[in-house]
Amino acid sequence: MLDGSHCHHLHHPKPYLTIIIFFTQPTSNLTPSPLQRLVLSNNRFTGGIPKEIGSLASLSVLNLNSNNFSGVIPVEIGRCSSLTTLDLGNNRFNGSIPVEINGLSQLQCLVLSNNDLSGRIPSSNGSKYFREVGIPDSSFVQHHGLYDLSHNRLTGSVPDELGNCLVVVDLLLNDNMLSGELPKSLAKLANLTTLDLSNNVLSGGLPAEYGRSMKLQGLYLENNNLTGSIPPELGQLHSLVKLNCLSIIYVW
């Protein structure tokens, strides 16, 4: 049994760890925990994330990747105001993405890929995440600037406001059911190196503004309903090493 009041760093647990008890007192009497990092990836945990997760105000890293967690992502996770990394990928979470995540002002890595999430990507209008350019703890934040919602059932458009998330380096929204046009605002992401919007139902043309993304190395747009020509501005992307637009209907 691990008491959260005495556990500051929990990472790399033994393989197939199945149960951890953090709270030894009634949840109504919980006091803020000093737990800073909770890394339980690559195990066989089941069930949902308890709403008491919101009491971990000092938590900076929550990594539950590659387990069998299920249920909805609790809105209380938005109270973990110190989070820099939230990785819930490769589980069985369903329902929508809580808009409360937008309020995590320290967040610089968000991974919700390979789940069964549905609904729209929450509008990031007025959001605080992926804004502060800082130096994360490299021992635990291995994918600084990663925004990965791939391999779910998300619908609706790609929010224009994602262009305000200046810390984003890799934006992965592939393998969903996203529709609408490619937002021009993504060209404002000066640090963007990978943009993957493949395997959706996006329409319209490829914005010439993407030619401003000088650090872009990989642009993946295949298997959508995009039309038009490839803008000559993309020729300015000297860092681009991979352009995959195999399913665009070209107009010459």
- Is residue 59 within 8 A of residue 38, CB to CB? The reply is yes
Q: What is the pLDDT of residues 133-160, one digit of tens each?
A: 554 444 444 567 999 999 999 999 999 9
Kindly tell me if the per-residue pLDDT of 105 is higher than 70.
yes
Tell me if residue 196 falls in helix, strand or coil.
Answer: strand
Tell me if residue 242 falls in helix, strand or coil.
Answer: strand
| pLDDT, position 235 | 83
Kindly tell me if the per-residue pLDDT of 210 is higher than 70.
yes
Identify the CA nearest to 73 among candidates 130, 116, 29. 116
- Say how far apart CA 92 and CA 105 lie, in whole Å: 26
- Say how far apart CA 186 and CA 195 lie, in whole Å: 9
Kindly tell me if the per-residue pLDDT of 13 is higher than 70.
no
Count, residues in the chain: 252
Residues 143, 149, 150: CA angle, nearest 5 degrees: 100
| pLDDT, position 33 | 66
Kindly tell me if the per-residue pLDDT of 14 is higher than 90.
no
- Say how far apart CA 203 and CA 240 lie, in whole Å: 23
Identify the CA nearest to 153 among candidates 201, 82, 104. 201
- Is residue 250 within 8 A of residue 226, CB to CB? The reply is no
Domain ranges (residues) in the chain: 4-177
Q: What is the pLDDT of residues 52-103, one digit of tens each?
A: 999 999 999 999 999 999 999 999 999 999 999 999 999 999 999 999 999 9
pTM for this model (two decimals): 0.84
Assigned CATH class of 4-177: alpha beta
- Say how far apart CA 95 and CA 61 lie, in whole Å: 23
Residue 220: half-sphere exposure toward Cβ, Cα within 13 Å = 16
Strands 249-250 and 37-39: unpaired
- Say how far apart CA 5 and CA 23 lie, in whole Å: 8
